[in-house]
């Protein structure tokens, strides 16, 4: 089982290390970060189990020295990503599904910047809590999500909130979305009650012609977005930022992610060149 886990970890690390390599992050920086995370997670797990997370106890559990653990515990936590991505995503999906911000064909309309109803200001007020609409407009313009038309209206540039101009925002998505997927897999690994398993599915085939991929991607773009808009419509009624009247206790983050992937299949040397 340990070998399978290590093989899975290696596959997870390869695309991540490719990103780190392209951005010039050396192994020493990655190693230091991994050590810090090991200490943070061990401390959390010990506390959750009712044990006192002392430096000595963490050192024993991680294999690090007491000196290393003491130093790593003093390092500041990176914290959660800024909320700009989540707020922008809510504004985008609200624009896509809310009839009040659609044109006569049921598509996202070009909106006046200001106005009590049907404007960009009204859209931001409904789906982004207390964030000023001008700040949201500047942020979405910077990311290439909207543009101002010649007559001064705000026009949506795409069918999803995917930052185009900011690597920081893209790295924020990397940190939140990949972590959410792995957390779901972790939950399903340790859960013994089948009724508590989280939905985790995918479909894939490994002998597709390249010519099939554009159509598949177009189907995912349309049908996947339609499904996400459906989920977003319901979530907006339950989220206190979008609906201050939503009742209930606690504060939870929950959602659904859909992604498209494609990569060449590398055949083993003994299979290469054989007819399929």
Give residue 99's pLDDT: 87
Residue of 39, 75, 76 whose CA lies nearest to 57: 39
* Domain-located, residue 16: yes
Distance between CA atoms of 151 and 64, rounded to whole angstroms? 62
pLDDT, block means (10 residues), the chain with 276 residues: 88 90 87 93 94 94 94 74 61 83 89 92 84 87 84 80 59 82 92 93 94 94 85 85 87 91 80 51
**Rounded to whole angstroms, how far apart are CA atoms 198 and 213?**
29
Distance from C-alpha of 88 to C-alpha of 153, rounded to nearest angstrom: 18
**Is there a single domain that holds both residue 88 and residue 127?**
yes
DSSP 99-164: GGGB-TTSSBPPBBSS-SSSBHHHHHHHHSTT--HHHHHHHHHHTTSEEE-TTS-EEE-SSS---S
Looking at residue 185, what is its pLDDT?
92
3-state DSSP call for residue 68?
Answer: helix
Residue 170 and residue 164: Cα distance in Å, rounded? 8
Residue 235 included in any domain? no
Look up the pTM and report it: 0.63
Q: Count each helix (H run) and each strand (E run) in the chain, helices first.
A: 11, 2
Domain that holds residue 122: 84-156
Would 19 be classed as within a structural domain?
yes
Tokens for 13, please give them: 């690390």
User: Two tokens at 191?
Assistant: 């859960």
Is there a domain that residue 57 lies in? yes
* Residues 74 and 100 both lie in one domain: no
Residue 27 placed within a domain? yes
The pLDDT value recorded for residue 188 is 93
Determine the pLDDT at residue 2. Answer: 84
Are 73 and 88 in a shared domain?
no
């Amino acid at each position: 089982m340990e070998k399978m886990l290590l093989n899975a970890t290696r596959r997870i690390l390869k695309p991540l290390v490719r990103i780190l390599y392209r951005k010039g992050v050396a192994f020493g920086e990655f190693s230091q970060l991994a050590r810090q995370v090991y200490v943070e997670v061990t401390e959390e797990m010990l506390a959750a189990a009712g044990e006192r997370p002392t430096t000595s106890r963490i050192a024993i559990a991680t294999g690090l020295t007491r000196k290393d653990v003491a130093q790593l515990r003093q390092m500041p936590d990176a914290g959660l990503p800024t909320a700009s991505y989540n707020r922008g995503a809510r504004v985008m999906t609200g624009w896509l599904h809310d009839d009040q911000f659609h044109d006569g064909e049921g598509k996202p309309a070009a909106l006046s910047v200001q106005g009590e109803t049907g404007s960009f200001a009204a859209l931001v007020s409904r789906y982004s809590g207390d964030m000023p609409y001008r700040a949201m407009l500047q942020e979405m313009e910077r990311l290439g999500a909207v543009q101002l038309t010649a007559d001064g209206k705000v026009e949506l540039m795409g069918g999803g909130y995917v930052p185009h101009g900011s690597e920081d925002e893209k790295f924020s998505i990397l940190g939140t979305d990949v972590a959410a997927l792995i957390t779901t897999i972790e939950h399903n690994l340790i859960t013994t009650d089948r009724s508590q398993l989280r939905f985790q599915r995918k479909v894939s085939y490994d002998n597709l012609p390249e010519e099939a991929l554009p159509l598949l991607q177009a189907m995912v773009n349309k049908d996947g977005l339609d499904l996400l808009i459906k989920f977003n419509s319901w979530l907006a009624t339950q989220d206190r930022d979008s609906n201050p009247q939503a009742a209930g206790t606690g504060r939870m983050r929950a959602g659904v992610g859909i992604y498209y992937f494609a990569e060449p299949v590398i055949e083993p040397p003994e299979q290469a060149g054989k007819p399929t």
